[in-house]
Amino acid sequence: MKLNELAPSPGAKKVRRRLGRGLGSGRGKTAGRGQKGQKSRSGYSKRAGWEGGRSRLIARLPKRGFTGKGEVYQVVNLSDLNVFDAGTTVTVELLRQYGLVRKARQPVKLLGGGELAVSSLRVEVDAYSASAVKAIQAAGGSVVGVKENT
């Protein structure tokens, strides 16, 4: 095979339709836009939800309820902590190094899913569930930011 023999696969390259290139092209004069009106003008773009000037449906519907959003945590379960050795201080940076969380700056919450097989861990994350705190303390570990025996 030579460089001058290279060609794209059949049907891979679609010819662009050239608008407004004379009457004989079939798309001349108005270029397929019709005669007059907003849609025939240059610069026209209809935004999502636009209904021709009347109030949008989303604006007409009643608004109710609380729309505030709480803090979004990265979740780590107790069973995920079994990769660490006994006596390790588990921080967000360490969780990031082990691939248990994606972002070091986003807050991390420890949940009580699974069994904790490692003893005497010291855990320093942003939030904990009550069951996770009990399990860590039962395994002889400590949790930073939470009073003992909670």
Tens-digit pLDDT profile for residues 35-74: 999 899 999 998 898 898 899 999 999 999 888 788 899 9
List, for residues 8-22, the tens digit of each pLDDT value. 999 999 999 999 999
Which class does domain 74-142 fall in?
alpha beta
What SS3 state is found at 39? helix
Q: Show the tokens assigned to 126.
A: 């942003």
Instruction: Please state, as a whole number, how many other Cβ atoms lie within 10 Å of the Cβ of residue 88.
Output: 16
Each domain of the chain, given as residue ranges in start order, spans 74-142
The radius of gyration of the chain's CA atoms, rounded to the nearest angstrom, is 31
List, for residues 91-135, the tens digit of each pLDDT value. 999 999 999 999 988 999 999 998 898 888 899 999 999 999 999
Q: Is 65 exposed, middle or buried (0-12, 13-18, 19+ CB in 10 A)?
A: exposed
The pTM (predicted TM-score) of the whole model is: 0.54
